[in-house]
Amino acid sequence: MKQLMLGNAAVARGLYEAGCSLISSYPGTPSTEITEEAVKYDEIYCEWAPNEKVAMEAAFGASLAGKRSFCGMKHVGLNVAADPLYTMSYTGVNAGIVIGVADDAGMHSSQNEQDSRHHAIAAKLPMLEPSDSAEALQFAKLAYDLSEEFDTPVLLKMCTRVSHSQALVETSPRVEPPAKPYEKNIAKYVMMPGNAKQRHPIVEERTRKLTAWAETAPVNRVEMGGTALGIITASTSYQYVKEVFGDSVSVLKLGMTNPLPVDLIKDFAAKVDRLAVVEELDPIIEDHCRKLGLEVVGKDVLPMIDEFSQNLVASALGGEVHTGKTLSDAIPPRPPVMCAGCPHRGLFYTLNKNKCTVLGDIGCYTLGAVAPLAAMEMTLCMGASISAIHGFNKALGTESEGKTVAVIGDSTFMHSGMTGLANIAYNQSNSTVIILDNSITGMTGHQQNPTTGYNIKGDPAGKIDLEALCRAMGFNRVRVVDPYDLKACDQAVKEELAANEPSVIISRRPCALLKYVKHKAPLAVNKDKCIGCKSCMKIGCPAISIKEGKARVDNTLCVGCGVCEQLCPVGAFESTGKEG
């Protein structure tokens, strides 16, 4: 059966067809839909784990038990999971294990632009890299075969354009292999130094065998055309090359980007007059070619940053550049903003008003750094806000303690915040941590997390009590505030910053976009009362604008949260009395 399918959905279909039994992931754009699509197949147990390290270890446990497994994450999530990843390379597998990682060239939703191929090289693991949805499905299935044939975890590398584009795929029935029996094998699975020393030579021999496999593997294919220019490429860059040059050039399309073949590349290079490598981000393939003694055009004409495009490839390598207007030329830029009614807005307004130094974290609340709130001064990685405020306050002492806070979302706190909070409790910095509890994982599209009480399917699940957890970790001062109540927020921030001990504020209000949240009637502005002072504009709500010197509310956006109403000195905001 053929059907149009999103790249991530195609991966999920491939996992299903290959007989995958367990999927444990942490949501992260652009990888999230793999697990969200996989959960639709009842034959696969799926879950959201607290973080990527836990997800990978759960997948390893299932593999150890003899069932095919998968874990998915975005590129920065692979950093979190690197600890088990590198040692799993030594242990190998029982049943097949596939690790999906989605890179984000262009940083559409990420804090850096790293190239996950470096992890594959460093961990000495095979990596497959599909260029469209059809290959995404095929490579997911192939990954299990390679995993079990070569006794290795296999990395399946997606990218934003492949994950989020659609292409025609051909589906097949599910084939679930018989479970592999678990057998006690201390030398293979207990990685104490003596055993690990014996496993390392096995890893090196495996790499040699995989390199030999790559020489003739169908995923690495030569498409001969014109021989004046030969291009080695992979992933979405292959699509750009074909769109620009068609059959006028010869192409070596690599589906396995680690380990890279040697003879295949040399033979291809010998057939063309000029050799080029087209790859996004770092020169992995290019450097490999140079080590083989080949003269190659690459990052001397192509950038190491951002996504590629057809015109970029064409202009760099002598193809036809299209000068007509594109859709993006006609669309004015629209900076990201917090949604109307976002529960974080009132809290960030309070922090800005109190001139707090705010160390932030990863989530939609990172938009607290954007004007006019401009209330966040640092964002590094998941959980870093809490660890950083401890170091910040230890370094500056009383100079910073009374005016510095850390903010972190509920899902991010469960992901990586607890250990930082334990550090504050243990080593006693006078730090104030604010957990922004919007009752969901907001930024990646409303996935459940351990604090919501529901699992990936929306069924009731274990629920972690944040207040009880913080108290159990050694915090005497734990309080909950409603961020729609500006007076309560202001009082809580002032009191906790003045306290001479560590404290936690939980700012609790469900995300305004959750379907179960019932909103109040939208507000309207009484033009006779409005004095045009623009106090309401200080919160940056997209539902509020100024027209002809007066405030105006878009009632299609307003959820009646009342934050603007609390700021107006003349009471110009009034309820429409109509449910939004």
CATH number of the domain where residue 235 is located: 3.40.50.920
CATH number of the domain where residue 550 is located: 3.30.70.20
Both 361 and 293 in one domain: the answer is no
Which residue, 397, 465, 460, 458, is CA-closest to 431?
A: 397
Both 109 and 203 in one domain: the answer is yes
Both 360 and 394 in one domain: the answer is yes
Assess if residue 334 is contained within a domain.
Answer: no
Both 108 and 198 in one domain: the answer is yes
User: What whole-number distance in Å separates Cα of residue 214 and Cα of residue 218?
Assistant: 8
Tokens of 570: 């003349």
Is the Cβ–Cβ distance between 243 and 233 less than 8 Å? no
Both 101 and 199 in one domain: the answer is yes
Both 15 and 142 in one domain: the answer is yes
Q: Which pLDDT score, from 0 to 100, does residue 329 have?
A: 65
Both 386 and 527 in one domain: the answer is no
Is the Cβ–Cβ distance between 274 and 318 less than 8 Å? no
CA dihedral 379, 382, 383, 389 (to 10 degrees): -10
Assess if residue 335 is contained within a domain.
Answer: no
Instruction: Classify each residue of 487-515 as buried b or exposed e, where b means 16 or more C-beta atoms within 10 Å of its C-beta.
Output: ebbbebbeebbeeeebbbbbbbbebbbee
- Partnered with residue 253 across adjacent β-strands are 221, 233
CB contact set of 426 (below 8 Å; sequence gap of 6+): 474
For residue 367, the SS3 value is helix
Residue ranges making up the domain that contains 15:
2-213
Tell which of 213, 231, 246 closes a domain: 213
Assess if residue 260 is contained within a domain.
Answer: yes
User: What whole-number distance in Å separates Cα of residue 148 and Cα of residue 463?
Assistant: 37
Both 376 and 479 in one domain: the answer is yes
Tell which of 508, 533, 559 closes a domain: 508
Q: Which pLDDT score, from 0 to 100, does residue 580 have?
A: 44
CA distances from 78 to 101, 114, 233 (A): 7, 10, 23
Residue by residue, pLDDT tens for the chain (580 residues) are 899 999 999 999 999 999 999 999 999 999 999 999 999 999 999 999 999 999 999 999 999 999 999 999 999 999 999 999 999 999 999 999 999 999 999 998 899 999 999 999 999 999 999 999 999 999 999 999 999 999 999 999 999 999 999 999 999 999 999 999 999 999 999 999 999 999 999 999 999 999 999 999 999 999 999 999 999 999 999 999 999 999 999 999 999 999 999 999 999 999 999 999 999 999 999 999 999 999 999 999 999 999 999 999 999 998 888 877 666 667 777 778 899 999 999 999 999 999 999 999 999 999 999 999 999 999 999 999 999 999 999 999 999 999 999 999 999 999 999 999 999 999 999 999 999 999 999 989 999 999 999 999 999 999 999 999 999 999 999 999 999 999 999 999 999 999 999 999 999 999 999 999 999 999 999 999 999 999 999 999 999 999 999 999 999 999 999 999 999 999 999 999 865 4
Assess if residue 339 is contained within a domain.
Answer: no
Both 244 and 349 in one domain: the answer is no
Q: Which pLDDT score, from 0 to 100, does residue 548 have?
A: 93
Assess if residue 517 is contained within a domain.
Answer: no
What is the number of structural domains in the chain? 4
CATH number of the domain where residue 468 is located: 3.40.50.970
Q: Which pLDDT score, from 0 to 100, does residue 334 have?
A: 77
Assess if residue 332 is contained within a domain.
Answer: no
Assess if residue 338 is contained within a domain.
Answer: no
To the nearest 10 degrees (0 to 180), the angle between helices 193-216 and 263-270 is: 30
Both 299 and 154 in one domain: the answer is no
Is the Cβ–Cβ distance between 415 and 51 less than 8 Å? yes
Cβ burial of 366 (10 Å; 0-12, 13-18, 19+) is: buried
User: What whole-number distance in Å separates Cα of residue 299 and Cα of residue 277?
Assistant: 8
Both 296 and 319 in one domain: the answer is yes
CA distances from 557 to 237, 344, 523, 544 (A): 39, 16, 10, 9
Chain centroid offset of residue 192 CA: 32
Tell which of 289, 323, 357 closes a domain: 323
Both 360 and 459 in one domain: the answer is yes
Assess if residue 384 is contained within a domain.
Answer: yes
